Amino acid sequence: MTSDPSLPVIAKYIASCGVASRRAAVELVRAGRAAVNGVSVKDPSIRIKSDDEVTVDGKTVSPEPVKYYVMLNKPRGYVCTGADPHAKKRAVDLIDLPARLVSAGRLDKDSEGLIIFSNDGDYINRLAHPSFQVLKVYHVRLDRELSAAETAALKKGIRDNGEFLRPEDVSPLGDRLYAFTLNEGRNREIRRMAAFFGLEVTRLVRISVGKLSLGALPSGRWRLLSPAEVTASVLV
């Protein structure tokens, strides 16, 4: 361990190994799950030398030589967590690549659509962290139409369980279908906003993340992003 500012901090290093996103790496270090040269550390900002051995949960980690950038059309019923190896349906298991992949954000079990996986922690962080303003668009079908008053109130934002929830935009598409645009993407955010007005979400599909669109990719299928798509997706 060193204080040399030219060297990576441990959280960034762990993310570069494909173990977790940058934010998740910070939390796992704080939880005491990481060690450097056999010594447990809890400070995610300590710096790592090239000859340091970093372990997570007792297993040595190192940067993966090949970076993968994957778009998946997640089907309903699959979970996005990679932390539970016993989950019956994990979205990451639909992707056949020789790498530890992490998702950029989450789609809950009952939601569908575009989700990005990668073993590049910096890339995942740029897509998922609200500070980078990478907007996500969802097509949401409700059990009834939103009234004009409800739409106006929704655009101003609501409070639920102590959190302020506000979409960047809500646009009607007809027949109880709406386009919701979000930046933060808090846990079950759209469903919570709908429930605030006594509405139920009957289907929720993410169709875009920044400049990346789901297009005609079939449900349950994945594809690698092109280098141009990778570059464009983090430009705002």
Q: Which residues are catalytic?
A: 108
The secondary structure of the chain in percent helix, strand, coil, rounded to multiples of 5, reads: 25, 30, 45
SS3 per-residue string spanning 30-64: HCCCEEECCEEECCCCCECCCCCCEEECCEECCCC
Q: With contact defined as beta carbons under 8 Å apart, do 124 and 233 qualify?
A: no
In the 8-state DSSP scheme, what is residue 225?
P
**Residues β-bridged to residue 174:** 177
Structure tokens at 46: 């300590």
Structure tokens at 119: 């073993």
| 176, burial (CB in 10 Å: exposed 0-12, middle 13-18, buried 19+) | middle
In angstroms, the CA 38 to CA 206 distance is: 42
Q: With contact defined as beta carbons under 8 Å apart, do 156 and 149 qualify?
A: no
